[in-house]
Structure 1
Amino acid sequence: MVEFWNGAEDLPIYGYLIRAAVVYVYIFTIIKILGQRSMVSFHPIDFIFAVIIGDIVGEPLSTGDLPLGGPLAAASLIVALHLSLTFLALKNVKVRRVVEAEPIVIINKGEILVDQMRKAKLTVEALLMDLRLNQAHDITEVDYAILEPNGQISVIKKSKYDALTPSDLDQNPTEKGYPSVLILEGEVNHSNLTKLGHNMAWLEEIVHQHGYESIQEVFLLTADERSDKVYVSGRTVKRVV
């Protein structure tokens, strides 16, 4: 039975399956330990970390005669080093400058900085594409464009091209709240329902108001925590009589 861990040239299929389950749980634990920053921001150092970890733990899954303990131990060391660098970067500015790249200003006060584009190895076509993705179709509207450490370009438009906000019109709209899921695929989330201060009678009344006979007919129902705004979508399309 321990051959799935020690490895064998004729490792049976169930050994590969057990290895796959062990590696999956291991990677899942790593993701939980590292948190959302590494998974979302994906800085260059995070990319290097992901490639190394994938290479280390991936080979034992395809090669049955390799022991599993060694690769997992090596991967654990890489995780520890990665966490240490991340912690030091949070605590020390000098380390942070080494670990994380500084933002590069590509457009400054409407003028494209050619030297900075060359430094970032960014072509004009790529810059224009990123501007369009940031809803800046006209480059004359752009005041600043910054290449962020995660490879994305953030855009600051000139003030006269910014969209109007309620404060610009001297209005004070009601604050938006966070929509909580109360029904998902016909199942009630009692925890969220209690948190919002509602009960089942209120929920059933909302369901009926939107033309559904029962909670089981609702695919998704959310309610705003600061207002009475409710979103309801059914599991099937309602027939129009």
Structure 2
Amino acid sequence: MAEHIEVIIRSIMAFTILLIGARLLGKQLISQMNTMDFIAAISLGSITANLAFNTTIAIHHFLLAFFIFIFVSLVTAFISMKNRKARKFFAGDPTILIQNGRVLEANMRKMRYTFDYLNQQLRERDVFNIEEVLFAIIEPNGTLTVLKKPQYRTVTKQDLNLPAPPETKLPIELIMDGEILEKNLQENDLSHCWLASEVKKRNYSLNDVAYAVLSPNGNVYIDTYRDHIVSPIDKE
């Protein structure tokens, strides 16, 4: 077999088994990762990359190593689900950086956190004044969770004793990329006539609509292909 043909075949095989591995390990692997997820991701990526172009090693050796990593990852995930101590060992514990409004410098040194980086993380969570923070915690996946002091928290309808209409459904997508989502209409007892009438109320036809979604409060949001914007701000 010509070497370039072998590389093509191995690359397709590498992509396929990496996709299978990601589906087996679940969505957590591609979200914010903890320590075990990080190890699994870089190991599987390295194995499949070598499978694609390292023609000096037999394919079955790569496949064996790949599925061993998949098996070990699944076993550690299962053990973590069943045992809290094991879960803490594999994933780690959250670390408090700010407690009752006080910065814990010892914990910051342990996490190799600087005040500059802490302030950056706080700004990313819409906190520009560290005085507003009651608790700040580094989660096992590396993200910063912030609880503001009561006087700085966003006011809710419950705080103001205002009635809030109940919402029991998620938004329902009706049209996407110009195509009517038949399954969503059927599952929610919606008809083509109703959809067409909602579009017609806005002086559009179904062919004009790029995206349409039914919100939990009953309103229908419609976006058309023609936006009628004279000067789009993202136009280059």
TM-score of the alignment, normalized to the shorter chain, above 0.5: yes
**Partners of 1:131 and 1:168 in 2: how far apart?**
25
In structure 2, what is the equivalent of residue 196 of structure 1? Answer: 188
**Partners of 2:12 and 2:204 in 1: how far apart?**
42
In structure 2, what is the equivalent of residue 210 of structure 1? Answer: 202
1:144 and 1:157 in contact (8 A); partners too = yes
Is residue 234 from structure 1 mapped to residue 216 from structure 2 by the alignment?
no
Report the AA paired with residue 228 of structure 1: G
**Partners of 2:220 and 2:102 in 1: how far apart?**
46
Q: How does 1:61-210 map to 2 (within 5 A)?
A: 61-176=52-167, 177-210=169-202
Report the AA paired with residue 200 of structure 1: H
When structure 1 is superposed on structure 2, of 64-73 and 145-154 the one drifting more is 64-73
Deviations 1:94-150 (A, max 9, x none): 211210110000000000001010111111100011111111111111000001101
**Partners of 2:29 and 2:163 in 1: how far apart?**
37
**Partners of 1:60 and 1:22 in 2: how far apart?**
8
Report the AA paired with residue 174 of structure 1: P
Report the AA paired with residue 227 of structure 1: N
Shift of 1:44: 1.6
1:146 and 1:154 in contact (8 A); partners too = yes
Which runs of 5 or more structure 1 residues have no equivalent in the other structure?
4-9
RMSD: 1.6
In structure 2, what is the equivalent of residue 7 of structure 1? Answer: none
CA 1:239–1:78 in 2, change beyond 3 Å: closer, same or farther?
A: closer
SS at match of 1:97: helix
1:110 and 1:144 in contact (8 A); partners too = yes
The TM-score with structure 2 as length reference comes to: 0.92
Deviations 1:200-227 (A, max 9, x none): 00011111122212x2221100112x43
2:29 and 2:41 in contact (8 A); partners too = no
2:11 and 2:53 in contact (8 A); partners too = no
Shift of 1:239: 8.2
**Partners of 1:75 and 1:33 in 2: how far apart?**
12
2:11 and 2:51 in contact (8 A); partners too = no
**Partners of 1:81 and 1:239 in 2: how far apart?**
54
The total of aligned residue pairs comes to 229
**Partners of 2:69 and 2:86 in 1: how far apart?**
18
CA 1:123–1:239 in 2, change beyond 3 Å: closer, same or farther?
A: closer
**Partners of 1:109 and 1:96 in 2: how far apart?**
27
SS at match of 1:233: strand
SS at match of 1:156: strand
Which runs of 5 or more structure 2 residues have no equivalent in the other structure?
231-236
When structure 1 is superposed on structure 2, of 20-29 and 108-117 the one drifting more is 20-29
SS at match of 2:158: coil
Report the AA paired with residue 92 of structure 2: A
**Partners of 1:69 and 1:20 in 2: how far apart?**
14
